[in-house]
């Protein structure tokens, strides 16, 4: 199929100086959505590749910026791109190839990503747009335009080749990666560049090739007050009146992830009967509870131990406070 877009050869723009790929991942579970930027730029005789992720840090509506980088010695941006040179594609060619591969029926967009590739080709900036995969029949695209189909995956292929196929950033409520602090520090360092609009065309292609202010700089809006990396899991369980209970052992329950996700928090109050001689717990009853949090609080309290002889023999009240976000 012949498309009307002129190839870059026709306008003399073939010098790939740098490029970046912005992928916007959507998920039905909004907390799992994120934006990823793969930035490839010259650094003297080397090439510096960065992968930057802007995601939800936690259930407190806080954003987190993390980044990792690799330095590729004695090479060029063009060599780093491999067989896929973004400057060899015109916007019209990519756009018409994608439109020609529209599916016959509407598909589910769940857990997918749209992608924009922004390349500095000589003195010109080229923005190549790829929609959500549900909007394209990939068999048709692969059959008629395998070059465009391959270019679509450029960012993923480079990330896997340079950072390794197992590379990933820690998700919400997951055990932290040993390098998490390193990723957060580099992310913090890059925030001013992101807010200043370095990757703006990748978020709103209409902002490309313009010297006028553009409202499409989504990262600038969400990161304008970003001063430090927030906690991935700020949730906490606190025994409010611990100092008055004379406890020798008081392991707290874990905050269930499902309870955090559906925003369950508050106080659980327990009526506890300790054994005067041993300090062990003889009985625990709920006097105030929150759905999903009461039974696990009782189970934890049954394993507590009081200092023998420290209680009067009367039941004591323990108060557990579950907080998802600071101030809850």
Q: Is 289 in contact with 296 (CB distance < 8 Å)?
A: no
Q: Where do the domains of the chain lie, and which CATH numbers do they carry?
A: 8-223 (no CATH), 236-323 (3.30.2420.10)
Q: Give the DSSP letter string of 34-80.
A: EEEEEEEEEETTEEEEEEEEEEE-STTS-EEEEEEEEEE-S--HHHH
pLDDT digits (tens, 9 = 90+) for 58-97: 888 899 999 999 999 999 999 999 999 999 999 999 999 9
Q: Give the predicted TM-score (pTM) of the model.
A: 0.81
Confidence at residue 30, expressed as pLDDT on a 0 to 100 scale: 65
Distances (CA, A) of 296 to 236, 245, 292, 306: 14, 20, 8, 19
Q: What is the pLDDT of residues 102-125, one digit of tens each?
A: 998 776 666 678 999 999 999 999
Residues of the chain with pLDDT under 70: 1-13, 28-30, 107-111, 173, 205-216
User: CA-CA distances (angstroms) from residue 316 to 189, 249, 263, 280, 286?
Assistant: 51, 15, 29, 13, 12
- In 3-state terms, what secondary structure has residue 318? strand
Q: Report pLDDT for 212.
A: 52
pLDDT at res. 10: 40
pLDDT of residue 215: 61
The strand pairing partners of 280, in sequence order, are 305
Predicted pLDDT at 214: 59
């Amino acid at each position: 199929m012949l498309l009307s877009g002129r190839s870059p050869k026709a306008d003399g723009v073939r010098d790939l100086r740098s490029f970046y790929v912005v992928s916007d991942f959507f998920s039905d579970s909004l907390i799992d959505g994120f934006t990823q930027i793969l930035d490839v730029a010259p650094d003297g005789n080397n090439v510096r590749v960065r992968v930057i992720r802007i995601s939800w840090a936690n259930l407190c509506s806080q954003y987190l910026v993390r980044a990792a980088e690799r330095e590729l010695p004695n090479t060029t941006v063009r060599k780093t791109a491999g067989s896929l040179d973004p400057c060899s594609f015109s916007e019209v060619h990519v756009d018409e190839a994608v439109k020609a591969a529209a599916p016959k029926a509407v598909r589910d967009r769940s857990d997918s990503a749209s992608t924009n590739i922004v390349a500095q080709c000589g003195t010109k900036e080229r923005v190549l747009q790829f929609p959500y995969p549900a909007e394209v029949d990939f068999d048709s695209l692969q059959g008629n335009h395998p070059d465009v189909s391959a270019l679509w995956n450029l960012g993923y292929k480079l990330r896997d080749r340079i950072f390794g196929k197992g590379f990933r950033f820690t998700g919400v409520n997951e055990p932290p990666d040993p390098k998490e602090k390193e990723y957060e520090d580099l992310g913090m360092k890059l925030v001013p560049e992101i807010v200043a609009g370095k990757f703006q065309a990748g978020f709103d292609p209409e902002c490309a090739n313009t010297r006028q202010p553009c409202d499409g700089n989504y990262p600038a809006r969400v990161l304008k007050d970003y001063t430090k990396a927030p906690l991935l899991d700020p949730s906490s369980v606190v025994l409010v009146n611990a100092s008055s209970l004379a406890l020798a052992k008081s392991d707290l329950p874990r905050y269930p992830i499902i309870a955090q996700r559906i925003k369950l928090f508050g106080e659980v109050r327990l009526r506890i009967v300790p054994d005067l001689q041993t300090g062990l717990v003889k009985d625990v009853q709920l006097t105030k509870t929150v759905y999903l949090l009461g039974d696990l609080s009782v189970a934890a309290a049954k394993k507590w131990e009081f200092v023998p002889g420290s209680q009067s023999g009367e039941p004591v009240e323990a108060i557990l406070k579950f907080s998802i976000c600071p101030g809850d």
